[in-house]
Amino acid sequence: MSDRLPETGRFIAVEGADGTGKSTQARLLAERLGALFTREPGGTPLGERIRDLVLDPSGPTPVDRAEALLMAAARAQHVEMVVGPALADGRDVVSDRYVASSIAYQGHGRGLGAAPVAEVNEFATGGLAPDLVVLIEVATPVAGSRLGDDREGELDRIEQAGHDLQTVVVDAYRAMAAADPDRWVVVDGGGTVDEVAARVAAAVDARLDSGRDR
């Protein structure tokens, strides 16, 4: 499954549309594995500043290509300063979002095309791919209700884009998972946090154990 040498740490990305609970599940998975938890966009001081530029609805709105490039720039810093060194030291890493998010949101959701967004991110990451991608799925209406009308003033710029963008993003994630089943695992995000965490743990354990046997 892995593109890297066996003595390095394992790299797991947790993906999902907004409102799926993927951030909570990524953090719980990292705690369970004793892994480094990090997030995108962000994960470094520069990345967090870029996160604010991209997601803060009160700031200037980046055009779609600028949004994609800013995400890739934050990711380049993240891989160079955080993810790569941790893996090289033999530490497992769990990231809340990675390249698949850019392909889903900017490539498909913003209509920029999956191929050019993937190419930019190939350059940004030096080709570093996760060993495993965990996709948390819930029905789009459920995800929308989790964001909650009472949070309307707190939603970031991408969350505010609404149902149509999220529908495209969900379809893009499903297509990526179907195209690469050896790297992706899809987990039902319905139910309580603990119920979902148990499903994630079982799925990840099965895949990592399978990877060791190869």
CA atoms within 13 A on the CB side of 92: 17
**Domains contained in the chain, CATH given:** 11-212 (3.40.50.300)
- Please write the tens of the pLDDT for every residue from 45-83: 999 999 999 998 888 899 999 999 999 999 999 999 999
If one compares 210 and 195, the residue with the highest pLDDT of the two is 195
DSSP per residue over 95-164, as a string?
Answer: EE--HHHHIIIIIIISSS-HHHHHHHHHHHHTT---SEEEEEE--HHHHHHHH-GGGGGG--TTGGG-HH
Give the pTM: 0.88
Q: Residue 64 half-sphere exposure, CB side, CA atoms within 13 Å? A: 13
pLDDT higher at 149 or 110: 110
- At 185-200, the pLDDT tens digits run 999 999 999 999 999 9
Angle at 74 (CA atoms; ends 67, 173), nearest 5 degrees: 65
Q: How confident is the model at residue 37 (pLDDT cuts 50, 70, 90)?
A: very high
Rounded mean pLDDT of 142-169? 66
In whole angstroms, what separates CA 64 from the centre of its chain? 19
Locate 206 and state its tokens.
């099965």
pLDDT confidence of residue 130: 98
- CA pseudo-torsion sign 140, 144, 145, 146: positive
